[in-house]
């Protein structure tokens, strides 16, 4: 999953065109992640503790991890690099809702690459980051998306798996598809242009067996103008899913 948070930074943090971040943003919005990363790295070299620079570094490495996920072996290293920058954000800016969100996203992205015990550990950490993010800003749309994913995945756990988590961490883990839908609708209430919430809504409706709502969610994504290479990639995935659904 990817979150178009750079658009928010651009709005709230005007930068001169000569600045590395501004040049990087222009490349990013033109779907050129490679050139964008070159500029962001230059900005990081100049100021490795700058908030906006660290956010962009987490963001673009997480983007690249997702884009490579089904194509090659680079994905894990990209995600782990994103975690490194997310840790720096948490060190320097622990009170930011965005910091907590980026930590949840970056660390949650490692789940496909680790064993079951590490999955449980990461899952608990991600859950805590989401909670902290929403405590700091209850309108932070993307944190609701992550919470919705947890609700959906939690609904799939067997009684044995729930028992293991309870024994290891002393807490119950559960989830429902209905709660997943509620969280995604909250995400869209606070950000109607959140295409990633619509994609997760598609997945949840699919899990519920509601094909009509799943298709409607996918079609909403295609109505939006992509603002990054990852959003463009997401639209390609959306078309593929719609084609599969139309074959049934």
The CA-based angle 91-46-12, given to 5 degrees, is 70
- Return the domain boundaries, the chain: 1-113, 139-248
Q: What pLDDT was estimated at residue 65? A: 94
The Cα 20–Cα 45 span in angstroms is 11
Q: What residues contact residue 136 under an 8 Å CB cut-off, 6+ apart?
A: 95, 96, 97, 100
Angle separating helix axes 141-154 and 116-136, nearest 10 degrees: 140
Let me know if the fold of 1-113 is the same as that of 139-248. Answer: yes
Q: What pLDDT was estimated at residue 226? A: 93
Return the percentage of the chain with pLDDT > 90, whole number: 71
Q: What pLDDT was estimated at residue 10? A: 47
The Cα 59–Cα 25 span in angstroms is 12
Q: List pLDDT tens digits, range 87-116.
A: 999 999 999 999 999 999 999 999 889 887
| pLDDT beneath 50: ranges in the chain | 1-2, 7-12, 15-17
Q: Which CATH class is domain 139-248?
A: mainly alpha
Q: List pLDDT tens digits, range 51-92.
A: 999 999 999 999 999 998 867 778 999 999 999 999 999 999
CATH number for the region 1-113 comes to 1.25.40.10
- For residue 196, the tally of other CB atoms under 10 A from its CB is 21
Q: Return the sign of the alpha-carbon dihedral for residues 36, 42, 45, 48.
A: negative
The Cα 54–Cα 75 span in angstroms is 20
């Amino acid at each position: 999953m990817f979150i178009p948070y750079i658009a928010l930074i651009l709005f709230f943090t005007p930068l001169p065109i000569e600045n590395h971040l501004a040049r990087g943003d222009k490349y990013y919005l033109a779907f050129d992640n490679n050139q964008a990363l070159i500029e962001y790295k230059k900005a990081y070299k100049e100021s490795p503790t700058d908030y906006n620079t660290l956010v962009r570094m987490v963001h673009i490495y997480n983007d690249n991890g997702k884009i490579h996920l089904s194509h090659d072996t680079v994905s894990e290293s990209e995600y782990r690099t994103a975690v490194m920058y997310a840790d720096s954000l948490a060190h320097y800016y622990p009170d930011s809702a965005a910091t907590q969100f980026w930590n949840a996203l970056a660390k949650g992205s490692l789940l496909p690459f680790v064993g079951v015990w590490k999955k449980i550990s990461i899952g608990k950490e991600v859950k805590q980051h989401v909670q902290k993010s929403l405590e700091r800003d209850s309108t932070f749309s993307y944190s609701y998306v992550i919470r919705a994913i947890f609700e959906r995945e939690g609904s799939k756990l067997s009684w044995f798996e729930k028992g293991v988590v309870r024994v290891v961490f002393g807490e119950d883990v559960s989830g429902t598809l209905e709660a997943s839908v509620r969280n995604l609708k909250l995400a869209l209430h606070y950000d109607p242009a959140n295409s990633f919430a619509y994609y997760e809504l598609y997945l949840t409706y699919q899990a519920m067996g509601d094909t009509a709502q799943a298709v409607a969610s996918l079609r909403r994504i295609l109505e939006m103008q992509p603002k990054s290479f990852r959003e463009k990639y997401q639209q390609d995935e959306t078309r593929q899913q719609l084609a599969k659904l139309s074959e049934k």
